[in-house]
Chain A
Amino acid sequence: MLDSLLHLWLDPNARWILLGCSLLGLSSGVLGSFAYLRKQSLMGDALSHAALPGVCVAFMITGSKSIFFFLIGAAAAGLLATLSIGWITRYSKIKQDSALGIVLSVFFGVGIVLLTQIQHSSSGNQSGLDKFLFGQAASMVNSDVITMAIISFLLVGICTLFFKEFKLLSFDPGYARGLGFPVGILDHFMMFLIVVAVVVGIQAVGVVLMAALLITPAVAARYWTERLGLMVILSGLFGAFSGFVGTYLSTMGSNLPTGPLSVLAATVLFVISLFFAPKRGLVIKLIRQSSMKQKIQKDTEAESYVKAKGVSQVE
């Protein structure tokens, strides 16, 4: 135990991976809180599934496992996915949730067809592509981690720069349009940032679970505050903590995948928030309820006492 602890701190590669995953959690937590407020939490889920065919096509064209090409492929697929969801909801009677489900499963299905095509073709170099897609931080090489760290850092920076615009967009897009903000462009820009976060994160936590890093920290953070600024910071910190803990446990040599551990760490934070957050937590609600009950009981007791006394006094 202590050995592996020490080993982790002494091994520069492991330290990089820890840093990278924490930064990834930070950036997806920050982006996720905007997505949550805009009621687009499951968009992350759809986008992360939709990235699969994009990544496969990028690999088929370039033949290299470079995160840069994957990013381009996934961004293109993500764009196509968001456009398809928009088309389906606008031009038919199908509602958004079904549209999300259709796009998510069809894109993923196509992606898996492409993936098996790649695996069956004899173009060497493809081993590890599935590791890439289903997430194992421990198998990343140094350059991947550095790319991940830099991009995550950039994402957080961009969110800080555009905080005011994103805030307005999240709460009142109509008002933002009235003020002359290019709402459509900002909308696509934010979606693009989410796609970037998803693609960067796939390698660490996998396609299926990347959505959780966007949703769970944001939901947990929402329990603690009513202010957007604070919520974004908290959500980022929760995300960073989850990424750190997940990676830490998985690199300790238990051979457990990083993604699920990070998601479970985030879930623990969510459950803690659910119970213990001030104002909105379940515990405080229960306490408030029971104290209210006691108060009502006391009041009625006192009332009946006064009544009884009053009546006797009158007599």
Chain B
Amino acid sequence: MPEQLLFAIEVTLNGLMAGVLYALVALGFVLIYKASGIFNYAQGVMALFAAMTLVGIMQGQVPFSHLINAVFGTEVHHFGWHVPGVVAILLTVGVMVVLAWMVQQFVMRHLVNQEPIILFMATIGLAYFLEGLSDLMWGSEIKKLDVGLPQGLNAWIDETTFNLFGYGFFIDNLDIVATIIAALLVAALVAFSQYTKQGRAMRAVADDHQAALSVGISLNFIWVLVWSVAGFVALVAGIMWGTKSGVQFSLSLIALKALPVLMLGGFTSIPGAIVGGLIIGVGEKLFEFALGPALGGATENWFAYVLALLFLVFRPQGLFGEKIIERV
């Protein structure tokens, strides 16, 4: 096979892997949107917050140490212990549940029945708040996250493809693990929403708030649950991205990448989030590969948006979204 084609295939594969990570973030959006009609802009910052908390707990950082030192003139930084990865992940899940409860208690409860766009802007405010909070809590420097996921070039694929085509494909181990975890996560989410009582209640709320309320489902509880699940998804995404490129502010910007994924796939569809993620992931890598050099590079910044924008003009509800019906 010609070199160019092989290279294109490699780019496509890498794009698929990146797309899985986009889809992972987009999943959190879809969950909250389906259950409460809220478009949660803060999902990306939640991933950042989760990853920061995970690192902080693992390294035994004292929360707000910077602020405490500034106010009281003390010199505290670390508790001096190291928490193993699994325990730290469980603790972080706990923190995310508390966060979900607080969001529900202090923000969303008061905004029931508002217009979607008001809710959207509220989540932008929430995103700013969380960003400031996570920086204040754990410090804003770039942190390394290592929970024991394999990283680096997958030697087996490299060798096999080299023997077959005379050209070794570069595939990152982490991407493969991320793909497997994302698949498991989706399977678990589907099973949860199909086969458990709470999952069914969640779907009922998503279908019709008032009807769900009238058969005795607690909206407050379901919303806390949904935000917790979204927090968990954010944590998984945060671990993946954090392991890949370090825990830092730019992590929250993946939310911005997940938005066009959602627009393409449709806000209400879990398969849409996955397919949209893959399309965007492959599309932007191939576009950069094919036309990037001619256009001056870094087309990845806007390609996804322009693609989604053009697509929406022809099909406003996205690939798998429900048709938008409006009545006066």
The answer to whether A and B come from one shared complex is no
Q: Which residues of B contact A (CB under 8 A)?
A: none
